[in-house]
């Protein structure tokens, strides 16, 4: 099979080509990496990703992230927007294999070419995003109006999502200890919007909303960030979905209106690139390049010069 | 001559093609000494679709009888006096509707509802967990169940409105304790709901007394006998302690049984006849825990649908035990045995611990919604299959004593040893439905459906409006569609991602190495989409392949049952999988595979497709000729071997 993917067809939203583009960025063979860099450069040159709203959906397993993604897709499709989804599930530490089950909760019309759902295995990175997730998001951003990234939802490395998304939606469910977990884990600083899902379960949801609001207020005061909206939703009945959608859009609109989007994205990209660098080349690689600060600075320079993430990584790579 | 106990009710689970053909079959079966009827419905009827619905294509009359309306049910029981018959109907999501049709047909025969005897299975929880013919979400489903119970207790007093089924749990891999526990948890959920509706005192006790069970019995028949004793003890205690039912008679554990079919093999299929006979011992030997009704599968269970002669052989097996042996002449053979008492206690304790666990997790419904119980079942099944694969659990003719002389029973090929369906039956049924629709009053139909929707939105019991709808010739699909509008639909958790699979033996090391090597060659981990197209709910095979593939190192996409060919093709394309594996056991594999292949072609997806399930040899040849890369059936019990082949198939196509 040829490794070359026609970027024009990807940009034309041809589903098979979009799928092949993602398979290409997942491909670990050296010859594939070259083709991937080429493709990402072409997509980046199109400038189409600039307007895309990238939404990260995170939170503990079972709270209803996928069901919520499904409801959000419906909402955005009803507003005429195209949606690409990347759903990341954990890889088994035993075998390296993975069961990708999010798709089962995401309802879609198989004839609708304006939606695209792809599952990806985290590839053993503890709870974090898949190695190829950033690149896959780049592909999807060039193609769709909105890109949703659902993460594995465990552990501290949840913070990864911040690097690849413009807006982070954190999902919890009432009365599960999630709220406490959430405060303890220090994730309080990441979300821009919080959904307390399964509100159909009743009074516990109301209480959870109040608890979260006060925790987040404290967090926001401490960090100086804007206080996230907390909304009750029921992904199964549709209650609150419109509000979440509006809150996500409002967050993005504020960043765009402030003119900060390009700078914010550059900074996120650099942080993500630094993380990938460390994963790929290990501590030794980082040391060889003069430590993590220096690596980040070098990557930032590359990115500012118009390099794509893969290119930046390749040019900053340590000597073999 | 000693005084004998009366034998249990003898039934055979049957029905196929059309109501007329099934009626003929029932009359034959009764003439051969069967003492009750057990109706198998086709999948469209069970999932609330009319014969002309696109999702019904290829499934009409295939694994059971289609009943689309009052005329169908009337034809099914033509010449059978419903006032004297004891009819068991395996119907769940649409149970209230089939009961309504039954009452309406009896009425037309001049039989009052009070005289009816029989059973609606009506246990939705195990549909989510194993059987797969659910339609609505848990809450409205439970309401329908309770509506049916409350209606029959008042108007059809000898009816068994719900047959809480542990049978299907064992068929999905449950251990004896799990089987007991999860069905008791279901009973508790149902009874609590009845109580929440304000039913109390004597009325509640009457409800308790009408609940019956449908259990399984496998080859370990001593343990199975103890399981049933434990079941009875726990039920009795539950009635007394949790629900305060004073009347001892109302606390009696009543159950029917179908013996285990999961263990019936494709290899040396004649051995199954002996298995069935031994399995029957577990539910008949102990008088104090004896089944009220027994139905046996047939020796050719794993090959396909049984013919009348195959079913007769199973009926004769029951008759031999009941009429030729001296079993029914004695009191309980096990009372006083310390061995039996200890085993019974062990099962009861383990089961009760698990019941409490489930209650803590939100009862049967909560533990279904969270996927917890399903995960436990998938894990148990994985352990069972791993034990067979390793030879630790002996299956004669499969992993031991596999040498065999040629069997005259399958000399003409296994395909000749099963029932062949008339391919014209579906068309006939669709045409009859069209005629039926033309000959009815559209206004009364519309009014009846409005009344049904209104009742569904409110709190009225849904059975009376359903009976009224049956009388004015509403169809099964219309009834279900009206309720789908109000209640919505549901997809149950697959239990696969969360299942704690057993540690795999060293046999898996070479396979994992093979997968790693393949990854190097193709650049990614091999990725498979496991798909279940059509209405087929048999998920065991798909689940176990998915689980095992993951543990061998594959990336696996699995979306559960009832995914359309178009959705599967779309998923295969988007997901960039290297291979699509279909699992089809309902018999509709030729039509469904063709549909999937066409959908893939239409999207320009050129990945290999493999198919697993109950697939006769002739169909295997046909499917391979049409482009399928490989076909697997139950005799391919070594999943490691299947996965190694998949590696070859992926490598061939991806490089
Ligand atoms: C267990 C069982 C059930 C369970 C299913 C539980 C569950 N969640 O799966 C229960 C009790 C619920 C059930 C119900 C019914 N059943 Co049933 N059932 C069986 C039984 C006994 C075993 C099937 C099984 O699970 N085997 C174990 C698994 C692991 O094996 P397997 O699926 O064959 O998979 C192996 C291979 O085939 C292959 N494979 C399978 N899929 C895939 C996929 C891939 C990708 C690959 C690579 C390989 C592969 O690899 C596996 C490993 O060895 C068979 C008869 C038999 N002994 O085979 C009847 C059988 C399949 N059932 C049958 C019927 C008719 C029904 C009903 C429709 C009856 C009715 N009218 O209501 C219902 C309704 C179910 C529904 N919703 O569709 C018929 C089908 C007739 C036909 N094809 O012509 C059978 C053949 C029995 C019979 N002879 O009548 N059933
Ligand atoms: N009651 C209720 N259940 C929900 C809701 N959203 C999701 N669920 C259920 O929660 C379970 C987990 O949902 P899923 O979307 O897979 O969660 P994820 O693991 O966070 O992606 C499923 O059984 C859903 O049906 C909701 O709003 N209310
Ligand atoms: Mg999910």
| Domain residue ranges of chain B, discontinuous segments joined by + | 9-410, 508-654
Q: What CATH code is assigned to B9-410?
A: 3.20.20.240
For B24, counting Cβ atoms within 10 Å of its Cβ (0-12 exposed, 13-18 middle, 19+ buried), the class is middle
Cα gap A279→B549, rounded to integer Å: 27
CA atoms within 13 A on the CB side of A128: 20
Q: Across the interface, do B560 and A104 touch by the CB < 8 Å criterion?
A: yes
Instruction: Give B-chain residues touching A22 at CB under 8 angstroms.
Output: 576
Provide the token pair at B101. Answer: 């049709």
Q: Clarify whether B69 is annotated catalytic.
A: no
- Among all residues of chain B, which has the CA nearest to that of A28? B523
Which residues pair with residue B563 across a beta bridge? B533
Tell me the pLDDT tens digit for each residue of B181-234. Answer: 999 999 999 999 999 999 999 999 999 999 999 999 999 999 999 999 999 999
Q: CA-CA distance, B220 to B634, in Å (whole number)?
A: 21
Q: Which H or E element spans position B234? A: helix B221-237
DSSP one-letter code for B133: -
DSSP B400: B
User: A52: Cβ–Cβ under 8 A, 6 or more apart, which residues?
Assistant: A140, A141, A142, A144, A145, A146, A147
> Using an 8 Å Cβ cutoff, are A75 and A242 in contact?
yes
- Residue B212 has what pLDDT? 97
Average pLDDT of every residue of chain B: 96
**Alpha-carbon torsion, ordered A6, A7, A13, A17, to 10 deg:** 40
Give the residue, by CA position, lying nearest to ligand 2 atom 3: A198
Closest ligand to residue A233's CA: 2
> Residue B209 is encoded by which pair of tokens?
């007394």
Predicted confidence (pLDDT) at residue B387 exceeds the cutoff of 70: yes
Query: Average per-residue pLDDT in chain A?
Result: 87
What's the pLDDT tens digit per position in B1-42? Answer: 567 899 999 999 999 999 999 999 999 999 998 988 999 999
User: Helix (H) and strand (E) counts for chain A?
Assistant: 12, 8
pLDDT over threshold 60, residue A156: no
Question: Residue A32 is encoded by which pair of tokens?
Answer: 């594939």
Ligand in closest contact with the CA of B91: 1
The SS3 of residue A288 is helix
> Which pLDDT score is estimated for B359?
94
For residue A157, pLDDT beyond 60: no
Cβ neighbours for B272, distance < 8 A, ≥ 6 positions apart: B264, B265, B297, B298, B299, B300, B301, B302
Torsions phi, psi for A238 (to 5 deg): 95, -5
Mean of pLDDT values over B512-533: 96
Nearest residue (by CA) to ligand 2, atom 12, is A62
Ligand 2, atom 1: closest residue by C-alpha: A198
Q: If you count them, how many residues does chain B have? A: 655
More confident residue, A95 or B113: B113
Mutate to test the pocket of ligand 2, among A201, A235, A240 (most ligand atoms within 8 A of CB): A235
Q: What is d(CA B355, CA A143) in angstroms, rounded to the nearest whole number?
A: 51
Distance (Å, whole) CA B68 – CA B80: 19
Residue B215 to residue B27: CA distance in whole angstroms: 26
pLDDT of amino acid A110:
94
pLDDT surpasses 80 at B237: yes
Structure tokens given for B5: 């106990």
For residue A201, the ligand 2 atom closest to its alpha carbon is 1
Q: Would you state the pLDDT for residue B1?
A: 54
Our answer to whether residue B26 is catalytic in this structure is no
Please name the residues in contact with A93: beta carbons below 8 A apart, sequence gap of 6 or more. A124
For residue A181, pLDDT beyond 90: no
- Dihedral (Cα; A247, A251, A256, A259), 10-degree rounding: 150
Res A269: pLDDT: 87
Burial bucket for residue B561 (CB in 10 Å: 0-12, 13-18, 19+) = buried
Q: What is the pLDDT of residue A1?
A: 54
Q: Would you give the DSSP letter of residue A319?
A: P
d(CA B539, CA B532): 8
Q: Using one digit for the tens of pLDDT, what is the confidence trace for A226-263? A: 788 899 999 988 999 999 999 999 999 999 999 989 88
* Chain A, window 146-185: residues with a beta carbon less than 8 angstroms from a chain B beta carbon: none
**Amino acid B312: pLDDT:** 95
pLDDT at A281: 86
For A115, how many CA atoms within 13 A lie in the half-sphere containing its CB?
A: 25
Report pLDDT digits (tens) over B639-648: 999 999 999 9
Does A70 contact chain B (CB < 8 Å)? no
Instruction: Indicate if B641 belongs to the active site.
Output: no
- Collect all residues of chain A within an 8 Å Cβ-Cβ radius of residue B128: none
> What tens digit of pLDDT does each residue of B539-559 get?
999 999 999 999 999 999 999
DSSP summary character for residue B563: B
3-state secondary structure of B593: helix
Q: How far, in Å, CA of B83 to CA of B77, rounded?
A: 11
Pairing verdict, β B527-531 and B555-558: parallel
H or E element in which residue B10 lies: strand B9-11
pLDDT of residue B256: 96
Calpha distance B215→B280 (Å, rounded): 12
Architecture (CATH level 2) of domain B508-654: 3-Layer(aba) Sandwich (3.40)
Nearest to B67 by CA among B647, B595, B476, B653: B476
Does B468 have pLDDT greater than 70?
yes
Catalytic residue list contains B578: no
B539 lines ligand 1 (CB under 6 A): yes
**What is the per-residue pLDDT for B318?**
97
- Inter-chain touch A103–B552, beta carbons under 8 Å: no
**The dihedral formed by the CA atoms of A251, A256, A260 and A264, expressed in degrees to the nearest 10:** 60
d(CA B91, ligand 2 centre) in Å: 28
DSSP characters over A27-77: --SHHHHHHHHHHHHHHHHTTGGGG-EEEEEE-STTSSHHHHHHHHHHHHH
Chain A residues inside the 8 Å CB shell of B570? 15, 108, 110
CB A315 within 8 A of CB A306: no
A158, A159, B445 from A162: Cα distances, Å: 8, 6, 56
Q: What is the rounded CA–CA span in Å between residue A312 and residue A296? A: 11
Between A271-275, B227-231, B245-249, B377-381, the lowest mean confidence (pLDDT) is in A271-275
Q: What is the pTM of this model?
A: 0.95
Q: What number is the average pLDDT over the span A139-149?
A: 97
At A185 the pLDDT is 58
Please, which pLDDT band fits residue B502 given cuts at 50, 70 and 90? confident
Neighbours of B189 (CB within 10 A): 25
- C-beta of residue B347 within 8 angstroms of C-beta of residue B227: yes
Separation of CA A97 and ligand 3 centre (Å):
17
Number of H helices, E strands in chain B: 25, 15
Ligand 2 atom having least distance to the Cα of A171: 20
pLDDT at A61: 87
Active-site position among B126, B374, B527, B538: B538
CA of A144 to the centre of ligand 2 (A): 26
Query: In this structure, are residues A116 and A10 in contact, taking their beta carbons and an 8 Å threshold?
Result: no
- Note the pLDDT tens digit of each residue in B320-351: 999 999 999 999 999 999 999 999 999 999 99
* Cα gap A199→A232, rounded to integer Å: 6
User: Which CA distances in Å does A181 have to A212, A220, B86?
Assistant: 11, 17, 56
Q: Which long-range contacts (CB under 8 A, 24 or more apart) does B153-156 make?
A: B153/B203, B153/B206, B153/B207, B153/B210, B155/B103, B155/B113, B155/B114, B156/B99, B156/B103, B156/B113, B156/B114, B156/B116
Number of Cβ within a 10 Å radius of residue B329? 11
Lowest mean pLDDT among A233-237, B111-115, B394-398: A233-237
> Model confidence at A137, in pLDDT bands (50, 70, 90)?
very high
Token pair recorded at residue A37:
């860099």
Confidence (pLDDT) at A190: 76
Is A99 within 8 Å of chain B by CB? Answer: yes
Which two structure tokens, joined as six digits, stand for B152? 């029959």
ipTM: 0.93
Three-class SS of residue B310? helix
Q: Give which of A44, A12, A97, A71 is closest to A197, Cα–Cα.
A: A71
Sequence-separated (6 or more) residues with CB below 8 Å from residue B449: B469, B474, B478, B479, B482
Measuring from each residue's beta carbon to the nearest atom of ligand 2, which residues come in under 6 Å? Answer: A 61-67, 102, 105, 197-198, 200-201, 234-236; B 369, 493
| pLDDT confidence bin for B413, thresholds 50/70/90 | confident
List the structure tokens of B259. Answer: 């013996």
Could B550 and A32 be called an inter-chain contact, meaning their C-beta atoms sit closer than 8 Å?
no
- Label residue B301 by pLDDT band (50, 70, 90): very high
Task: Report CA(A86)–ligand 3 centroid distance (Å).
Answer: 11
One fold for B9-410 and B508-654: no
Mean pLDDT of B435-441: 97
Catalytic (active site) residue B168: yes
- Lowest average pLDDT, out of A191-200, B37-46, B566-575, goes to A191-200
Q: Give A2 or A283, the one with higher predicted confidence.
A: A283
Alpha-carbon distance values, A82 to A44, A111, B250, B292, B524 (Å) = 19, 13, 60, 59, 28
Token pair recorded at residue A261? 């989007």
Name the token pair of B414: 């296994």
B536 is annotated as an active-site residue: yes
Choose the closest CB to A23 out of B520, B524, B569.
Answer: B524
Of residues A92 and B26, more confidence is placed in B26
User: Cβ separation of A1 and B604 shorter than 8 Å?
Assistant: no
Q: What is the 3-state secondary structure (H, E, C) of A209-245?
A: HHHHHHHHHHHHHHHCCCCCEEEECCCCCCCCHHHHH
Q: Which range has the worst mean pLDDT, A300-309, B274-283, B452-461, B507-516?
A: A300-309
Which atom of ligand 2 lies at the shortest distance from residue A197's CA?
27
- Residue A237 Cα: closest atom of ligand 2: 27
CA A169 – CA B545 distance, rounded (Å): 34
| Residue A177: predicted pLDDT | 62
Is residue B627's pLDDT more than 90?
Answer: yes
| Res B110 pLDDT > 90 | yes
CA distance B264 to B297: 9
Q: In testing the pocket of ligand 1, which one of B41, B585, B618, B647 has its CB within 8 Å of the most ligand atoms?
A: B585
Q: How confident is the model at residue B459 (pLDDT cuts 50, 70, 90)?
A: very high
Q: What is the DSSP letter of A125?
A: S
CA B182 / ligand 2 centre spacing (Å): 22
Ion ligand 3, residues whose Cβ is below 5 A away: A 65-66, 102
The model's pLDDT over A52-64, given as tens digits with 9 standing for 90+, comes to: 999 999 988 889 9
Do B558 and A89 count as a contact with CB atoms less than 8 A apart? no
* Contact criterion met (CB below 8 Å) for A144 and A49: no
pLDDT of residue B481 exceeding 70, the answer is: yes
Across the interface, whether the CB atoms of A16 and B603 are under 8 A apart is answered yes
pLDDT tier at A163, thresholds 50, 70, 90: confident
Q: For residue B94, count other CB atoms closer than 10 A to its CB.
A: 29
- Let me know: does A42 contact A211? Beta carbons within 8 Å: no
What is the average pLDDT across A144-171?
84
Give the three-class secondary structure for B212.
strand
The whole-angstrom separation of Cα B611 and Cα A169 is 40
* A97 contacts in chain B (CB < 8 Å): 515, 525, 549-556
Task: Name the nearest CA neighbour of B54 among B532, B441, B562, B469.
Answer: B562
Q: In angstroms, rounded to a whole number, what is the distance separating the alpha carbons of residues B474 and A173?
A: 42
Q: Residue A4: its pLDDT value, please? A: 84
């Amino acid at each position: 099979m040829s490794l070359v993917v026609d970027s024009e067809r990807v940009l034309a939203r041809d589903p098979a080509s979009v799928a092949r583009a993602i398979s290409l960025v997942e491909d670990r063979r050296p010859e594939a990496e070259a083709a991937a860099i080429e493709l990402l450069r072409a997509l980046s040159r199109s400038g189409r990703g600039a307007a895309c709203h990238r939404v990260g959906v995170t939170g503990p397993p079972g709270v209803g992230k996928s069901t919520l993604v499904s409801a959000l897709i419906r909402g955005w499709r009803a507003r005429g927007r195209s949606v690409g989804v990347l759903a990341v599930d954990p890889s088994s530490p035993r075998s390296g294999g993975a069961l990708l089950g999010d798709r089962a909760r995401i309802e879609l019309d198989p004839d609708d070419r304006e939606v695209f759902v792809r599952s990806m295995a985290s590839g053993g990175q503890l709870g974090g995003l898949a190695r190829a997730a950033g690149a896959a998001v780049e592909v999807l951003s060039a193609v769709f109006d909105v890109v949703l990234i659902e993460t594995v939802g465990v552990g501290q490395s949840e913070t990864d999502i911040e690097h690849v998304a413009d807006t982070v939606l954190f999902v919890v469910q009432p009365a599960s200890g999630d709220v406490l977990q959430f405060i303890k884990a220090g994730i309080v600083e990441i979300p821009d919007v919080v959904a307390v899902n399964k509100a159909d379960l009743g009074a516990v949801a109301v209480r959870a909303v109040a608890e979260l609001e006060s925790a987040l207020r404290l967090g926001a005061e401490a960090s100086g960030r804007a206080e996230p909206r907390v909304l009750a939703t029921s992904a199964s009945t549709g209650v609150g979905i419109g509000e979440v959608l509006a809150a996500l859009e409002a967050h993005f609109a504020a960043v765009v209106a402030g003119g900060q989007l390009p700078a914010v994205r550059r900074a996120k990209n650099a942080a993500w690139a630094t993380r990938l660098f460390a994963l790929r080349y290990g501590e030794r690689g980082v040391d060889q390049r003069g430590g993590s600060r220096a690596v980040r600075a070098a990557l930032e320079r590359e990115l500012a010069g118009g390099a794509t993430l893969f290119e930046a990584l390749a040019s900053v790579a340590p000597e073999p | 001559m000693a005084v004998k106990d009366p034998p249990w009710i003898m039934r055979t689970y049957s029905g196929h093609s059309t109501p007329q053909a099934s009626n003929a079959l029932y009359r034959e079966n009764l003439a051969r000494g069967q003492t009750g009827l057990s109706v198998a419905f086709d999948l469209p009827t069970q999932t609330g679709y009319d014969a002309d619905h696109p999702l019904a294509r290829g499934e009409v009359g295939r694994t059971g009888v289609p009943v689309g309306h009052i005329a169908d049910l009337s034809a099914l029981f033509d010449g059978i006096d419903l006032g004297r018959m004891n009819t068991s109907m395996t119907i769940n999501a649409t149970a209230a509707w089939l009961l309504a049709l039954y009452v309406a047909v009896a009425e037309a025969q001049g039989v009052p509802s009070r005289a009816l005897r029989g059973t609606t299975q009506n246990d939705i929880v195990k549909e989510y967990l194993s059987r797969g013919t659910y339609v609505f979400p848990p809450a409205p489903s439970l309401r329908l169940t309770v509506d049916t119970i409350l209606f029959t207790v008042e108007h059809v007093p000898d009816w068994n409105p719900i047959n809480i089924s542990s049978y299907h749990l064992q068929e999905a891999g449950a251990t004896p304790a799990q089987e007991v526990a999860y069905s008791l948890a279901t009973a508790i959920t149902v009874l609590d709901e009845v109580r929440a509706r304000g039913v109390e005192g004597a009325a509640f006790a009457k409800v308790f007394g009408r609940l019956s069970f449908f259990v399984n019995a496998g080859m370990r028949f001593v343990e199975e006998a103890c399981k049933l004793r434990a079941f009875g003890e726990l039920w009795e205690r539950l009635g007394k302690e949790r629900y305060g039912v004073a009347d001892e008679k109302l606390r009696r554990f009543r159950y029917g049984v179908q013996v285990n079919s999961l263990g019936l093999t494709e290899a040396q299929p004649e051995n199954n006849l002996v298995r069935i006979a031994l399995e029957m011992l577990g539910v008949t030997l102990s008088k104090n825990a004896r089944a009220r009704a027994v139905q046996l599968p047939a020796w050719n269970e794993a090959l396909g649908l049984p013919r009348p002669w195959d079913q007769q052989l199973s009926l004769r097996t029951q008759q031999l035990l009941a009429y030729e042996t001296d079993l029914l002449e004695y009191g309980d053979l096990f009372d006083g045995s310390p061995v039996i008492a200890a085993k019974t206690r062990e099962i009861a304790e383990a089961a009760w611990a698990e019941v409490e666990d489930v209650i803590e997790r939100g009862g049967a419904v909560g533990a279904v919604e969270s996927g917890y119980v399903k995960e436990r079942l998938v894990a148990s099944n994985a352990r069972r299959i791993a034990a067979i694969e390793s030879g630790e659990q002996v299956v004669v003719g499969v992993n031991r004593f596999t040498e065999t002389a040629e069997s005259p029973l399958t000399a003409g090929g296994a395909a000749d040893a099963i029932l062949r369906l008339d391919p014209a039956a579906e068309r006939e049924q669709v045409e009859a439905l069209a005629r039926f629709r033309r000959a009815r009053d559209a206004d009364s139909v519309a009014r009846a459906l409005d009344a049904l929707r209104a009742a569904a939105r409110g709190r009225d019991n849904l059975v009376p409006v359903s009976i009224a709808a049956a009388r004015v010739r509403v169809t099964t699909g219309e009834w279900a569609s009206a309720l789908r509008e109000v209640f919505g639909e549901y997809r149950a958790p697959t239990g696969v991602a969360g299942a704690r699979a057993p540690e795999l033996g060293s046999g898996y090391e070479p396979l994992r190495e093979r997968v790693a090597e393949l990854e190097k060659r193709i650049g990614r981990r091999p990725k498979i989409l496991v798909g279940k197209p059509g209405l087929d709910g048999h998920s065991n095979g798909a689940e176990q392949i998915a689980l095992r593939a993951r543990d061998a190192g594959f990336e696996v996409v699995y979306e559960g049952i009832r995914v359309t060919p178009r959705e599967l093709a779309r998923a295969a394309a988007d997901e960039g999988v290297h291979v699509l594996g279909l699992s089809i056991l309902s018999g509709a594999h030729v039509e469904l595979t063709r549909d999937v292949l066409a959908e893939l072609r239409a999207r320009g997806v050129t990945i290999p497709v493999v198919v697993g399930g109950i697939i006769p040899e002739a169909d295997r040849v046909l499917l391979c000729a049409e482009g399928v890369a490989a076909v697997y059936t139950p005799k391919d019990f070594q999943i490691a071997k299947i996965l190694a082949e998949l590696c070859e198939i992926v490598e061939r196509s991806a490089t």
